[in-house]
Amino acid sequence: MSKWYPKSGRVIFHVDMNSFYASVEAAYDPSLKGKPLAIAGNPEERRGIVVTSSYEARKKGVKTTMPLWEARKLCPDLIVMRPNFDRYRRASKEIFKILSDVTPYIQPVSIDEGYMDVTECEDQGSPLDIAESIQSRVNKELDLPCSIGIAPNKFLAKMASDMKKPMGITVLRKRDLPSKLWPLPIGEMYGVGSKTAEKLRLIDVNTIGDLVRMDTYQLKSLLGVNGERLKNRANGIDPSPVDPDAIHEFKSIGSSETLPHDTVEDDEIKKLFRKLSRNVERRLNRKQALGQTVQITIRYYDRKTVTRSMKLPDFISKEDDIFNISMDLFEKNWSGEPVRLLGVTLQDVAERKEVVHQLDLFTYEQEASKEGLYQAIDKLTEKYGKNPFQAIHIEDGHQPKTSFQKDFLDDYQK
């Protein structure tokens, strides 16, 4: 079996669930199988948008982010359902449990996808055997389809998993790049958003192969360090590890400052809260992150310290939002004694691309023009689910209680 495993190098899987939300609903209610199904935030109103759809609906032209009125026009027999996030979360937990039976080296990326390093799984068979076993188990035990990319690194595994859907298994080796990867349109490359693709087309980079042939200096002039990074990936170079702890890289981002003197002056306090909120926003932007809980720290003249926090229904990142909530918390909890230090921290932090607004699918309609959220919704809503599926009891909760964030990716380990 060693012939299938490199003496130096890695074997990486990218496991990607197919049309996740719709697939979960069809697993829960088999009468939906084979029918055009769309999951949407507001089925009762024309202004609702499609979050994801079954492959039957896609064949009729129904696409993610499409207004419901347009989707129904294309597919008059379209079945539309509200999302059930509790159900999807339970399904995700069971999927990652199956993956963890193969290797402990798993890096969840979102509720419906993750990387696996199977380099040391030689005793379980060839990489293709392992991929087929995973795909079969997920399908038989949870009644859910998935696609798996097999490659020597994470980027190529991600690209491979997209090449055949649903229920595909694709091997992408470096020697396959000229025939399988480079002919693809530049907009299909993982890590290239619509704005970046537009910039690249202006310099005649229309395919991934064009990117490979482009001068590195010119790419860096256009895109900064990301230009060189994208070219390396197009050449099959991606040394990033499969890191099970990556989801813990940051859970909070904060800023605090000791005042030059103890104070009870409103203007001084507000000025410092404004500065701290601005610092938090800047750090969030640097990490391309959002947070859902605002916490303030108040240290008094006698060094007595208290913290108070508020969890929000949605993720935030803007200075004004952070400032207003921080001031509200301060005014409700300040004892009136002189203040020595103030701090503002945004907790329950998640990367922008991993965040899906649950109750606020309508908010998404207003923000869909923003590239980051557009891509996040497109990616995250294409996937996960679970079967209520055999041995798992699932409560029907029509409304999600908390927003999706990276915490749920830890569920399978509990």
| Phi, psi for 84 (deg, rounded to 5) | -120, 90
Active site residue 45: no
Options 25, 113, 141, 382, the catalytic residue? 113
The three-state (H, E, C) secondary structure of the chain, written as one string: CHHHCCCCCCCEEEEEECCHHHHHHHHHCHHHCCCCEEEECCCCCCCCEEEEECHHHHHCCCCCCCEHHHHHHHCCCCEEECCCHHHHHHHHHHHHHHHHCCCCCEEEEECCEEEEECCCCHHHCCHHHHHHHHHHHHHHHHCCCEEEEEECCHHHHHHHHCCCCCCCEEECCHHHHHHHHCCCEHHHCCCCCHHHHHHHHHCCCCEHHHHHHCCHHHHHHHHCHHHHHHHHHHCCCCCCCCCCCHHHCCCEEEEEEEEEEEECCHHHHHHHHHHHHHHHHHHHHHHCEEEEEEEEEEEECCCCEEEEEEEEEEEECCHHHHHHHHHHHHHHHCCCCCEEEEEEEEECCEEHHHCCCCCCHHHHHHHCCCHHHHHHHHHHCCCCCCCCCCCCCCCCCCCCCCCCCHHHHHHHHC
Instruction: Give the separation between CA 162 and CA 172, rounded to whole angstroms.
Output: 11
Q: Token pair of 373, please? A: 């959220």
Q: Which residue ranges make up the annotated binding site for Mg(2+)?
A: 16, 112
How many other CB atoms are found less than 10 A from the CB of residue 60? 14
261 burial (CB, 10 Å; 0-12 / 13-18 / 19+) is exposed
User: Which residue numbers are catalytic?
Assistant: 113
